[in-house]
Structure 1
């Protein structure tokens, strides 16, 4: 049996091969579920391993393997979790072998050694002492270079060629799904949950969590507020959802709210970023500097065909359509103007309403309430091949198309609004639009009208494509 007599506390940096009677203090930063090895001799011969990764400084982390019977290993796995500070007493210290197969299934570490614990020779306990906060601060440091990661746009663009590869990602939580229990092929019950994350390049990627500790820690993740550095996530094509996903594995290390400049910048972006499909389209439409540069002519049907073409990599595209506007309700009961929270762009009932989105800094009371008011119209564009219904005409684009400001429109009489409507309604127009392709959030393409002007007959005859 082990004995604590003569045990000496050493750091990971001071480890040497064959050292005995040592104690290492560190924070558990990753963990794998226990894995049993069945033997022909029967249950009494069953033996398995429980592995985790320990860190005791910004630069030093090591993999630990605990060997023993099923009850012993399950007891350890249920007692010690990611984010806890522990004492490892009297482990066996050995050199990691270059190219060792086991390293392909465990997190990348900086230590040249590995620690092995056995049921009768070693011990692990929760650490007690004034230095616990110092060890817990290590949870904010990624285990990979903070500036070296894939963007979600990289994953969506190249995901098919990256199938089963592992990547590093810096993301922020968009939504956290419920915990689910499913049956594995071997009869085991597995716990899983899906989390959707986003970054500055994409509004969403679904990640599937399998590590029970990470599944449970996700209970405390908050949309737009929790940044995740995901080291060694596996990229996979999900046949059921027909989309690229990522999932954690035995090599994955999840760093919550990392203390890096890149994470700070992402968090700043995430708090007000458009993440719903309609909000993204509106953001793109308002940020396009010069709609007159759109010159690729399409019919309505050509636009729809391209929008639904899964072989295209671009998430959005623009087009010039020669068409009729046959729906432009400026003087009826349809909504023409919308008030939004300036923090999260959530629509409000009116300009005097408060934001009820508790995930928004304004809605949570962390910032002074402010309201943005703008045009919010829906129009229908029609040509000889079909129609585009519910095209969005919002903000500054609506002011350009209507040739009046929001204040000027609000001051108009009903007759003046009717006259304004008929300047465009049922007229042949050159409409410049932006199209957002379908996604898991929105099964149909979204279209925003960016600019519109009356078209000369000569333009119509020379530019309308024959479809």
Structure 2
């Protein structure tokens, strides 16, 4: 321990017992939840606030800490430290935990106890990093589960819906970190969401969702294509819209960044060796997405107005953007004679010739052999209809098409004959519904 702490007698988490006289403990914060408010049963009309965090002082011991109190106190305490920092807790209340009740929503800990903080009796102090013993700091890179106890992303995909709703451990590399999205629910509660893409040797892209502010803040500190994470007790779900498996960070989840384990070191080496390739894939994916900021588009058009503008701008190369309220009146995905998927060049993103299956664009950044690999992408033609008319042969391609249909192009093309029949029914009823709307 650093000199500033050497004179203080800290109780090890493994030695905690109820009725200890003014215990003082030190540990690294390895997990933390958002502040929440609840109606105060003793004072009708008012609220009590709470948040929890998990601290660790040895490879084998960590414990959950909960604080209750007034809004100002709880929010101020929560803002004072983050995951990855060291704290000293003085005079907490040590209570025996009810395992089934406590660990339903909180991290599973080896301790038989939990700590409660009181505004009037407990004190939490933050330690600066230079004051902290290296043995404590090293705990931030030690998973709370056996380093071999995890699913690869390929295992999760292979097991599919058999893992739906299961809580498991995952070891993976961070591929990309999305911007936080903020929203307001129907009952006026504020919410947030952030999607992190993961990958490993077995799967190129896998979505992990963060719904609380603390996990989103933690995710923002990771470095894409470099940071390896061990997510203990993360929930796996089948996303019906995407038709794939996803992971969700929950209140039980403890995430260890860059674990110091043999398994994580192997994955880290894989990330370094493939950094250039994954960076190029991410760049191509970004290029294929609409580059304009969608939030800046405010002009609303009808089909009739769009046709008039297209006629007026005929021969001009610059695009214009707007909002159209319409429905898809034609979506032909069941006709075997219609080509619904084509190959794109991995170098520039443009469609390639079927005959040569190579990119002929002079602007493509090809490799030394003059070739680039190709990948499949939806290339659909649809009709859009509103009360003023119909826009024929509109293009619906790439990831936008996948999000609209709810499945990837590879899943669509590899379905069984039975599933093809379901696609035909989907197309038939989709267009029948469209005709009913237009009548």
Q: TM-score category by the smaller chain?
A: 0.5 to 0.7
> What does the per-residue CA deviation read over 1:164-191, in whole Å, with 9 as the maximum and x for residues that have no partner?
2211000001111111112234322122
Match of 1:56 in 2: 57
Q: Distance in 2 between matches of 1:161 and 1:42?
A: 46
Deviation of 1:199 (Å):
1.1
Match of 1:444 in 2: 409
Contact in 1 for aligned 2:200/2:267 (Cα 8 Å)? yes
Task: Give the TM-score, by structure 2 length.
Answer: 0.63
Match of 2:217 in 1: 216
More helix by share: 2
Match of 2:385 in 1: none
More strand by share: 1
Unaligned runs of 5+ in 1: 1-5, 280-300, 308-324, 339-346, 352-372, 380-388, 390-437, 447-467
> What does the per-residue CA deviation read over 1:19-68, in whole Å, with 9 as the maximum and x for residues that have no partner?
12111100100001122221356577422321100001111110011111
Deviation of 1:271 (Å):
2.5
Q: Distance in 1 between matches of 2:51 and 2:140?
A: 21
Q: Distance in 2 between matches of 1:250 and 1:180?
A: 19
> What does the per-residue CA deviation read over 1:274-311, in whole Å, with 9 as the maximum and x for residues that have no partner?
559989xxxxxxxxxxxxxxxxxxxxx79x99x9xxxx
SS of structure 2 residue aligned to 1:178: coil
Match of 1:47 in 2: 48
RMSD (Å), alpha carbons: 3.8
Contact in 1 for aligned 2:173/2:225 (Cα 8 Å)? yes
Match of 1:327 in 2: 355
For the pair shown, the structure with the greater C-alpha radius of gyration is: 1
Match of 1:110 in 2: 110
Q: Distance in 1 between matches of 2:357 and 2:232?
A: 51
Q: Distance in 2 between matches of 1:20 and 1:439?
A: 61
> What does the per-residue CA deviation read over 1:357-416, in whole Å, with 9 as the maximum and x for residues that have no partner?
xxxxxxxxxxxxxxxx4755889xxxxxxxxx9xxxxxxxxxxxxxxxxxxxxxxxxxxx
SS of structure 2 residue aligned to 1:203: coil
Contact in 2 for aligned 1:29/1:139 (Cα 8 Å)? yes
Q: Distance in 1 between matches of 2:281 and 2:260?
A: 32
Q: How does 1:267-306 map to 2 (within 5 A)?
A: 267-273=268-274, 275=278
Call closer, same or farther: CA 1:73–1:377 in 2, change over 3 Å: closer
Match of 1:80 in 2: 81
SS of structure 1 residue aligned to 2:273: coil
Contact in 2 for aligned 1:277/1:442 (Cα 8 Å)? no
Unaligned runs of 5+ in 2: 1-6, 283-335, 342-352, 380-400, 412-439
Deviation of 1:159 (Å):
3.2
Match of 1:245 in 2: 246
Q: Distance in 2 between matches of 1:192 and 1:132?
A: 35
Task: Give the TM-score, by structure 1 length.
Answer: 0.59
Contact in 2 for aligned 1:20/1:92 (Cα 8 Å)? no
Call closer, same or farther: CA 1:39–1:185 in 2, change over 3 Å: farther
Deviation of 1:96 (Å):
2.2
Q: How does 1:422-437 map to 2 (within 5 A)?
A: none
Contact in 1 for aligned 2:86/2:132 (Cα 8 Å)? no
Count of equivalent residues: 315
Call closer, same or farther: CA 1:8–1:233 in 2, change over 3 Å: same
> What does the per-residue CA deviation read over 1:128-171, in whole Å, with 9 as the maximum and x for residues that have no partner?
56334432221101011101101112222223122222110000
